[in-house]
Chains A and B, each alone.
Chain A
Amino acid sequence: MLHLLTEFILAMFATAGFSLIFRVPIRHIPACVIIGACGWVTYEISMYYYSSPAMGCFLGACVVGILSTVAAHHLKDAATIFVIPGILCLVPGSGIFNTMLSMLQDDFTAAAEVGMQTLVMAGAIAIGLMITGAVLRVFYALVRKTVTLWDKF
């Protein structure tokens, strides 16, 4: 639990750093920070239970996707602004490093394994984002329709 808390705080700072580099408008930084940290903690939790990085990335990306779409809807801005800093924590940077490391050791089987893992993680992030994006778009469209229907009656 304590471990998760420290991870949460670290991820918050990391996302804040990315927000500064990518120049997120100041009023959106708090939202971005929370989104990024939630995504990373989701990843950590699912790693603990399933120990599958791809699944972790998928769930983390789902959380980031949902939260960003909701934030974009309520703060009236493009979802990209929340998605990009949020997703960067999940991007498999250590995967790239480890692939390269095994290649240096002339261990190409391990390199292929870790490289494939990295690719799958990147794919999982993308799929997670897409699914949540699509589902939420339908959801908001339905909400709008119900609201207009409601107004008619």
Chain B
Amino acid sequence: MLKSGAEIYRVEETITRICKACRIDNVEVFAMPTGIFVTLDNDSEKDSVSTYISRIRSGETDLNKISLVNQFSRDFTTTDLSVEAGLDRLHEIDRQKPYQFMVRLIGAAVVAACFSVMFGGNSMDFLCAFLIGLLCYTFSRFLSKFGINFFIRGMCSTALAAFIALIIAASLPDAAYQPIISGVIMLFVPGVAITNSIRDFLSGDMLAGLIRLVEAVLTAVSLAAGAGLILKLWGMIGGITF
């Protein structure tokens, strides 16, 4: 759930609710974007305190999983579902695959294209941004398959975007590079991290908020660095003078 981009308080609340439904008296949950700690304590038995720690690696945003777990916890607490049946359902949720790659690819391309026009591009920019969006999203997925970290990934993706955009802008008179690059950057902008970090801050989870804020800032810096590097190099070889 944390991996898929839920807020801290939602995770803590869900765990507490599920544990209460299992008739566990004292539950303490401490969740962070990098790990969850849960301590269970049953009053009726002695020495029955147990603690679980689960390390969390960052993953992809998957709102469908949040929705499913949300529904699950509601069902679990209101009906008397057995623990085994519940676990089965959770595993099933975990196994769910994201949309097909092609669908997401088209989504990504549409995003890049629409934003390039919203940032003042024309129809030529729309077309170019669509193609570059396709390419860059594929490239970013390709890099993540090799386990390359998010900083380098963001940098390389926007660098590729900037490079192609500059070539297109130099060869086609109608196209401008600014709207295309901004449009493609929107694809990789850490919107989820920013929104969640602020929400975590304001619900009192300072540590979690800080972690996500740093993540967002680093991603933004990587995007800017990637595009900036290529623009600067292009200027140095005399393509355009800014």
Among candidates A19, A93, A104, A129, residue contacting B232 with C-beta atoms closer than 8 Å: A104
Contact of A58 with B by CB under 8 A: no
In the complex, A28 Cα to B109 Cα: how many Å? 21
Q: Which residues in A have their C-beta under 8 angstroms from that of B208?
A: none
A91-B191, A99-B224, A101-B242 as given contacts; A11 in contact with B63, CB under 8 Å: no
Chain-A contact segment, one of B4-12, B23-31, B44-52, B85-93: B4-12
B105 to chain A: closest CB distance in Å? 9
Q: How many residues of A contact B (CB 8 A)?
A: 43
Question: Given A77-B71, A93-B182, do A24 and B195 touch, yes or no (CB 8 Å)?
Answer: no
Q: Which of A10, A18, A81 contacts B107, CB < 8 Å?
A: A18
Contacts A14-B110, A16-B107 given; does A87 touch B195 at CB 8 Å: yes
The count of A-to-B residue pairs whose CB atoms sit within 8 angstroms is 142
Chain A binding site: helix, strand, loop or mixed by DSSP? Answer: helix
For residue B237, CB closer than 8 A to chain A, the reply is no
Give the chain B neighbours of A140 by CB distance below 8 A.
none
Q: How far is the CA of A77 from the CA of B66 in the complex (A)?
A: 9
Stretch at the interface among B33-41, B111-119, B143-151, B167-175: B111-119
Q: A17-B107, A20-B103 are in contact. Are A80 and B64 (CB under 8 A)?
A: no
Knowing A78-B67, A80-B10, A130-B202, say if A97 contacts B108 (CB, 8 Å): no
Question: In residues 148-195 of chain B, which contact A (Cβ within 8 Å)?
Answer: 178, 181-182, 185-186, 189, 191-192, 194-195
**Contact code string A78-90 (vs B, CB < 8 Å = 1, else 0):** 1011011101110
CB within 8 Å of A: which residues of B? 5-7, 10, 61-64, 66-67, 70-71, 98-99, 103-104, 106-111, 114-115, 117-119, 178, 181-182, 185-186, 189, 191-192, 194-195, 198-199, 202, 220, 223-225, 227-228, 231-232, 235, 242
